[in-house]
Chains A and B, each alone.
Chain A
Amino acid sequence: MVDNNLLFQYLLRLGDDQQILSQRLSEWCGHAPTLEEDLALANIALDLLGQARSLYTYAGEVEGAGRDEDQLAFLRYENEYTNALIVERPNGDFAHTITRQLFYSVYMDLHWNALLSSKDETVRAIAAKAVKEVDYHVRHAAEWVIRLGQGTEESHQRMVEALEEFAIYTGELFEMDDLAQQMFKAGVGVDLTLLRPEWEQQIAAVLGEAGLRMPEVNWMQTGGRSGEHTEHLGHLLCELQYMQRAYPGMTW
């Protein structure tokens, strides 16, 4: 029997990752380098938003306190968010955004695939939809990394800088804290450490083709899973939550 409170926290964590990255990517809308990229990033953001909605809706049901997806998305403060730090980092330039997309999409592709054998029926159903969407995200990011890595001296250099910046945020994705351990033992979650070798291999393959390589990292940044965030999350939430804070309960 799975503890409902733990399951609730676990679903929120998974939902927060998707929602915060969705919000970040949607900042590109109207600003991307080309019209096609504008559409692509907005579409990817939309996929992530849909996944977050499913997770929050289910989290609200599990919690049983009458909170729905909107209340969970719009009425929590930053220390109640447990997303990984990588998704809240500012977009930076296009190379930064694409680098994060590669790191994160490959990670989620492996993660959702593993969740296809979760003992929780709803998690399995959400994963089965998400995994097909994320396939497209992986390919999108990989193609761009190769294009930028092999592009001009400038685009290559920007990729090098982006890899330097985001590499220290990748360790957190595979952390097995107490909640992750318990959900793994309950058969709902997965052992994230097992995904890491495959993730490293896939990233190395793409970077290799791009003429780039993963920087050596001696330590990893962490904190998001316990609600300790960078200074950027609060600003992101200000924008995300403004309407519901200013006009509580407002609907379309």
Chain B
Amino acid sequence: MVSAMAEVRSLDHEAIRRQVWEAAAAVPDPEIPVVTVADLGILREVRVEPDGTPVALVTPTYSGCPATRMIEEEVLAAIQLAGFPQARVETVLSPPWTTDWLSAEGREKLRAYGIAPPQTGSNSKRALFGKTSVACPHCGSAETERVSEFGSTPCKALYRCLSCREPFDYFKCL
């Protein structure tokens, strides 16, 4: 009897977890609204506490990213709107966010939006400091050059295409 009830409850919790994840995952990034917090890998996990309270765990991209606070608020609002007013959002620092967590779909959305997606394998120092070739998101040319490693947001670098001459943002490896 007890174990049957526990089973029902854990099923409920799984259903809550899934609903909350779906609501949170759809929240767009405030600075690059074409991708969601799930695409970016900022939404790490949703867990449900024994009393049924859902908790969403988010992680910042860069330590000082000013969008972090807004993302937390928007994720919370989305979960509450989905019918979980008691939900909480918590920030976790570890493991540190890496651009390797960007989904394949997220990368494609970035490219279509005009931002060159980060190269994979950014965890390694070699990728961070080796010579990289960034394809132009506009014309696809590999003939591009770095203008600055710092751009309009902490996660982007400035590049320019030597073929079509367009400047573009590169979502830099971290």
Question: What residues of chain A have their CB less than 8 Å away from a CB belonging to chain B?
Answer: 36-37, 39-40, 42-44, 46-51, 53-54, 121-122, 124-126, 128-130, 132-133, 135-136, 139-140
Contact = CB atoms under 8 A, between A and B. Distances in A.
B62 A47 contact: yes
Given A43-B150, A129-B62, 11 more contacts: A36-B150, A36-B158, A37-B148, A40-B149, A46-B154, A49-B64, A54-B63, A128-B93, A128-B95, A129-B96, A133-B62
Contacts of A36: 147-148, 150, 158
Contacts, number: 77
B151 interface: yes
A39 B150 contact: yes
22 contacts: A37-B148, A39-B148, A39-B150, A39-B151, A40-B150, A43-B150, A43-B151, A46-B66, A47-B62, A47-B63, A47-B64, A50-B60, A51-B63, A126-B63, A126-B93, A128-B93, A128-B94, A128-B96, A129-B60, A132-B96, A133-B62, A133-B174
Contacts of B174: 132-133
B104 interface: no
Which interface residue of B60, B66, B125, B149 has the most chain A CB atoms within 10 A? B149
B94 A39 contact: no
Contacts of B151: 39, 43
A54 B59 CA distance: 13
A43 B63 contact: no
B157 to A, nearest CB: 9
Nearest to A130: B63
Nearest to B64: A50
Contacts of A53: 63-64
Contacts of A40: 148-150
A22 B42 CA distance: 25
Nearest to B98: A132
A125 B129 contact: no
Interface of B: 60, 62-66, 93-98, 125, 128-129, 147-152, 154, 158, 172, 174
Contacts of B148: 36-37, 39-40
A136 B63 contact: no
Contacts of A37: 148
A135 B93 CA distance: 18
A209 B95 CA distance: 36
Q: Counting chain B CB atoms within 10 Å of each CB, which of A37, A130, A132 scores highest?
A: A132
